[in-house]
Amino acid sequence: MSAAIEPQSVRTQCPYCGVGCGLLAEVQDGRLTGVRGDPIHPVNRGRTCRKPLELMHAVDSPDRALAPMWRDVRDGRLEPGTWDDVLGRVTGRLRAIIDEHGPDAVAFYISGQLLTEDYYAVNKLAKGFLGTNNVDSNSRLCMSSAVAGYTGAFGSDGPPPSYADLALADCFLLLGTNTAACHPIVWSRIRDRQAEGAFVICADPRATPTATGADLHLPVRPGTDLPLLSAMLHVIDRDGLVDDDFVARRTSGWEQARAVAHDWPPWRAAEVCGVPAEDIELAARKFAAAGGSMALWSMGANQSTVGTLKNRALINLCLATGQIGRPGAGPLSLTGQPNAMGGRETGGLAQLLPGYRKVEVAEDRAAIEAHWGLPAGAISPTPGLPAVDLFDAIADGTVKAVWIIATNPLVSMPDNARVRAALEAADLVVVQDAYHPTETSSLAHAVLPAAAWPEKDGAMTNSERRIALVRRAVAPPGDALPDWEIFARAARQLGYGDDFAWTSAAEVFDEFAACTAGRVCDYSGVTHDRLRMEGSVQWPAPDLPDGPSPERLYPTHVFPTPDGRARFAPHPPTPTRPTRSTATTPCC
C-alpha cells in the first residue's frame, strides 16, 4: 500500500467562526472524509460545535467553481479559459479604466473568510501598486465598530484579554451576542466558569439560548443599550464602586463620561430600555464588585448606527472599575468571521494599512511604502470607500470596476436591490469565490475559482489574538488556486512581477510579519514553521528573546495613546432612526 492512500490526519483550524477552534482533518485517497476537534488545541481541547462536522460535504460539492471564466458583456455567456487568458482580460480592463478614470475608479470588496496571506496580497496590490485605498471588507458589516471602539479607547485596535481569562472571570456581561448559538465553544467555556460560581449577565431583546442560560437577562429594547450602559455607570459611580486610583492615574475623560452617566439614573433608563431598574442596579453592582469582570459583545452592539459608541460604553465600564490588563478581566469583542482579526492586522479596511497603521498618517504610509519598495507618495493619503458607500459609488458610476472576493454581497449587504443595481451598472465585475454560481457571481464578467479551506496553507487569527495555520490537506478541484496566488498572478500581468514573486504562502506571511515588528500586533516572531511546530501562537509575538507575554494586552496599564492613558468616551444616547433599507426594500 502506498503512503498516499493511507488515512491521514491533518492538524488545521476551523474556517467557520472567530472562536478559532483547532480541527483534525481526516483524509483518505486524496479526499476529506471527516473532521474532528483537535484534542491538544488550547481553544477547544477536542470540542467542536456542529458547524465544521459537515465540512467534507461543503468542500466536495457539485457547485464548486472549477475554471476561470469570462464574458465581455453581462448578458453574454461565461466561457471557461486559462488563468493567463482570463486574468489577462481582467487586468487589461482594469488598466484601461485606471488610465482613463484614475485608480479610485477601481475597488476590491474582500472578506473575513480570507486568510492573512490573501489579505496582505490584495492590500499590497491595490493600496501599494494600483494606488487606490478602495479595499474594504465584509467585516465592515461585522466588527468595524470594534476596531473604532478599541482604537478610540486605547489608541490601537486589539482585544486586550484572552480566552484564558474566561476561566478566571467572576462576572460576564454579554451584550448583543447570542454566544450559545454563534460562538458555541466560547459559550461552553463561559458555562464551565458559571458552574464554578461566576455570574453571567446577558443584555439582549430576545430570550435567546444565551439569555436563558444567563443568571440575569436584561431584555433591553433594541437600540437602547446606551441608556442601559449609562445607567450602569451611574450606579457604579453613585455607589462608590469606581476604581479611583486606576481612573486617576491611567485614564482620561472620566469627568465627561461621568457627567453623562449622571443624567441616567436607573429609573430613567428603565423607562427607555424596558429593563427593571433593580436589574440594572444588580448588573452594575455585580460587574463592579467582582474580582474579575469581562464584557463580551458582537453584532447586537456592532451593527448599529451607534455601534462604536456601544463599544466605547462597554469599555467605559471596564475602565471605571479597573477591569483591564489583569487576570479574568477586560473587554473582549467576539469576532464573527474566522479571520476578521487577521484582516484587521493586515490592513483590510479602507482606512488601514498593515500592522494597525492608517492611510491618513504620513509616517504609517512612509513605513509601508518603504516595506513595499515604493517611492514616497505612492500610497494615497485618502481613505478608500467603506462597503456601503462603495456600492453607492458603483451605482453612481464613480467606481467602474469591482473585484469581489470570498463574500456574497448580493445576499449579505443591506438593501440588496441597490447592490444588484450597482453591479449591473459596473463596467467590470470580477468575482473570486470557491463556488459558482452564487447570487453575486451570476452578475460577473469574470469568475475566478478559489481554493477552499482544506486546499491551501495560510494563517488565521481568532478573537483572542491567536494565530494558527490552515493546512493544505487535499488538492483544489479543477483549476482553483489559493486567493493570494490569484492576486500575485494578476500583479505579474500588470507588470509588478518582481514585487509579487512569492512561491509559497509562508513567504507571503514572512513579508507581512516583518512589517509588524514593534507594533501592538507584533507577528515578527511567527513563521509558518513555528505555527506548524507549536500549533498556535498569540500575538504580540515579537522576534525577541524576552518579549511581552501575549496572554493579555496592557498589563502595566500603559496604553498606546499619546499620553499613555486609556480614554473614556461620553456616550449621550441618541435617538434611533429608521434605516434606508427598511424604507426601500421589502426584505434583505
Ligand X SMILES: Nc1nc2c(c(=O)[nH]1)N[C@H]1C(S)=C(S)[C@@H](COP(=O)(O)OP(=O)(O)OC[C@H]3O[C@@H](n4cnc5c(=O)[nH]c(N)nc54)[C@H](O)[C@@H]3O)O[C@H]1N2
Interface with ligand SF4 (CB under 6 A): 14, 16-17, 19-21, 44, 48-49, 51-52, 183-185
Closer Cβ to Mo ion, 182 or 368, answer by number: 182
Phi, psi of 182 (to 5 degrees): -105, -25
Binding partner of 362, given Mo ion, ligand X, ligand SF4, none, CB within 5-8 angstroms per partner class: none
Options 81-89, 119-127, 198-206, 498-506: segment touching ligand X (CB under 6 A): 198-206
Among 91, 311, 337, 339, binds ligand X (CB under 6 A): 337
Residue located via cell numbers 453581462: 74
| Cα(173)–Cα(311) distance, integer angstroms | 13
- In sequence order, what are the residues at sequence separation of 6 or more whose Cβ sits closer than 8 angstroms to the Cβ of residue 372? 124, 128, 129, 378, 499
Closer Cβ to ligand SF4, 185 or 218, answer by number: 185
| Min CB(557)–ligand SF4 separation in Å | 31
Closer Cβ to Mo ion, 48 or 113, answer by number: 113
| Cα(121)–Cα(109) distance, integer angstroms | 14
Question: Using CB under 5 A as the criterion, which residues of the chain lie in contact with Mo ion when the complex forms?
Answer: 142, 336
Grid cell, residue 489, equals: 498572478
Closer Cβ to ligand X, 208 or 293, answer by number: 208
Binding partner of 20, given ligand X, ligand SF4, Mo ion, none, CB within 5-8 angstroms per partner class: ligand SF4
| Min CB(13)–ligand SF4 separation in Å | 8
Going by C-alpha positions, the residue among 230, 182, 170, 185 that lies closest to residue 208 is 182
Q: Is 204 in the site for ligand X (CB under 6 A)?
A: yes
Residue 478's CB: how many other CB atoms inside 10 A?
Answer: 13
Q: Is 142 in the site for ligand X (CB under 6 A)?
A: yes
Residue 500's CB: how many other CB atoms inside 10 A?
Answer: 20
Grid cell, residue 204, equals: 439582549
| Cα(517)–Cα(525) distance, integer angstroms | 8
| Min CB(501)–ligand X separation in Å | 22
| Min CB(451)–ligand X separation in Å | 6
Residue type (1 letter), 11: R
Closer Cβ to ligand X, 115 or 359, answer by number: 115
Among 12, 91, 111, 536, binds ligand X (CB under 6 A): 111
> How many residues in the chain?
588
Among 13, 44, 91, 113, binds ligand X (CB under 6 A): 113
Among 44, 208, 311, 516, binds ligand X (CB under 6 A): 208
State CA 277 to chain mean position distance: 35
The residue number with the shortest CB distance to ligand X is 336
| Min CB(468)–Mo ion separation in Å | 19
Which secondary-structure segment (H or E) carries 556?
none
| Cα(72)–Cα(320) distance, integer angstroms | 59
Q: Is 138 in the site for ligand X (CB under 6 A)?
A: yes
Going by C-alpha positions, the residue among 444, 379, 366, 356 that lies closest to residue 405 is 444
Binding partner of 21, given Mo ion, ligand X, ligand SF4, none, CB within 5-8 angstroms per partner class: ligand SF4
Grid cell, residue 490, equals: 494578476
| Min CB(356)–ligand SF4 separation in Å | 24
- In sequence order, what are the residues at sequence separation of 6 or more whose Cβ sits closer than 8 angstroms to the Cβ of residue 242? 236, 288, 320, 321
Residue 177's CB: how many other CB atoms inside 10 A?
Answer: 26
Q: Is 342 in the site for ligand X (CB under 6 A)?
A: no
| Min CB(118)–ligand SF4 separation in Å | 19
- In sequence order, what are the residues at sequence separation of 6 or more whose Cβ sits closer than 8 angstroms to the Cβ of residue 551? 162, 164, 538
- What is the contact surface with ligand X in residues (CB under 6 A)? 17, 51, 111, 113, 138, 141-142, 175-179, 181-182, 203-206, 208, 220, 222-223, 225, 298-300, 336-337, 405-408, 411-412, 432-435, 438, 450, 452-453, 483, 588
